[in-house]
Amino acid sequence: MASVANQFSATQAAREIAAGRLTSETLVRACLARIAERESTVQAWAFLDPELAIEQARACDRGPRRGVLHGVPVGVKDVIDTADMPTAYNSAVYAGHRPRADAACIAAARRAGAVILGKTETTEFANNHPARTRNPHNLSHTPGGSSSGSAAAVADQMVPFAFGTQTGGSTIRPAAFCGVVGYKPTFNTINRAGLKIVAESLDTIGTHARTVEDAALLACATSGRPMPDFARNKAKPRVGLYRTPHWDKTDEPTRNLLANVADKLRVAGWTVVDADLPPQAVAIYDANSTIMQFEEAFSLGYEYDNHRELLSEDLRSRIERGRGTSRDLYERAIDVVLEVGAMFIDAFRTVDVLLTPSAPGEAPFGLTSTGNSLFNKNWTTLGLPCVTVPAGIGQKALPLGVQFVGPYRGDSTVLLAADAAWKTISR
């Protein structure tokens, strides 16, 4: 069992540990063995202390059982503070930085019994400047970002699940590129205390996992949100196929994939209809850029003013654009969010979830870009829950995902829909 324990889903591992058929130490050692085998090429981890991980696992095995995550290892994106590990935000400004306290989600994960395996790579301050991580399916391609290491580590079976964050598309897009499940909950579902904020109106802590149930397990265990009943999930929700105003930016395999998924769901008895919104909904994309730039210029003001030379040129430019954005323009962007949000409230009166692309296509070649967040940042700006599931393969033999979006606070609905749809289209 030791040699394959790293391949267990988090839910399976938790069940095996609770039944006494698996120890946390065995599971953690299997994950560490996989990391030792693959980390030199995938480069998913910003910090790893094997002895500290094993010490946590042994403490779990000694008992008592603490919660639903007992003994299961989790990866943590390195923009989330950990008291016993460095948190450097992939910036020379914070090299060796040791927070004095865990972030709220890490404290909650520990209370639920999780083993904090290590810190996963992130782009610089969860922005656009890439991390060193590579896509485990093809090392010449990006894993996406900014939660690069979390998605790659889960995809490469180094850890069963991991925390990511999303300001534009930083949880959903890397999950789609790496062929795993990504869950961005409703805004502020997982408490953000101890997260290095980029944009306080947008930043959302999410999860990467190899099953929808696992993604939900980590989020629910650390937020207090009730766990959906996946075992009894028989629902066939009404689905709105929403191509978005930027459908022309998708590649042909992605367009075909969405059509095929919709057809398979219809054959299985689901109601799938085209979902259209007023043309004014396109304004949400510019609103995201304005809000992010304005808020980021304040959140990274200290770093820019005192350590400008240690920031990437790209980040310096973004902060400068933000400082050139007026408060009036920012507040008008907030008004746009409220107006477009009302349109989507109306859209969800006739459908339960939306089906939409996770990304324009498969992971792009090269490591100088993390890809385009065009099919994610609208949902992030509106605060809506999203789940991406692996659904196909692109022309370059890399994963393609499809994204399900739910109404505000409709997390259980979208999780159950994504899980049922994934199982339906995988038959």
Catalytic annotation, pick one of 24, 91, 146, 312: 146
C-beta separation of 125 from 315 below 8 A:
yes
Answer yes or no: are the C-beta atoms of 388 and 414 closer than 8 Å.
no
| Spatial distance between the Cα atoms of 34 and 16, rounded to a whole number of angstroms | 20
CA distance 7 to 215: 15
- Give the contacts of 6 (CB within 8 A, at least 6 positions apart): 27, 30, 31, 33, 34, 157, 158, 159, 160
412 is catalytic: no
Q: Could you give the count of Cα atoms lying within 13 Å of 240 in the half-sphere of its Cβ?
A: 20
Active-site pick, 91, 170, 358, 412: 170
DSSP 386: E
Q: Which residues contact 156 (CB under 8 A, 6 or more apart)?
A: 34, 38, 42, 44, 136
Query: 369 CB contacts (<8 Å, ≥6 apart)?
Result: 128, 130, 142
- Which stretches of 146-294 are assigned E, i.e. beta strand? 161-166, 181-184, 204-209, 239-241, 272-274
**77 assigned to active site:** yes
User: Of these residues, 24, 77, 91, 412, which one is catalytic?
Assistant: 77
Residue 262 and residue 239 in contact, taking contact as beta carbons nearer than 8 Å:
yes
Residues 387 and 389: their CA atoms lie apart, in Å, by 7
What are 295's strand-pairing partners?
none
Burial class (CB in 10 A: 0-12, 13-18, 19+), 141: buried
146 catalytic per annotation: yes
Quote the strand ranges of 167-293, DSSP E: 181-184, 204-209, 239-241, 272-274
Q: For residue 195, what are the β-bridge partners?
A: 80
CA atoms within 13 A on the CB side of 387: 29
Determine the 3-state secondary structure of 153 from DSSP.
Answer: helix
Q: Taking each helix axis from N to C terminus, what angle separates 24-42 and 10-18, rounded to the nearest 10 degrees?
A: 150
Q: 327 by DSSP, 3-state: which?
A: helix
Active site residues: 77, 146, 170
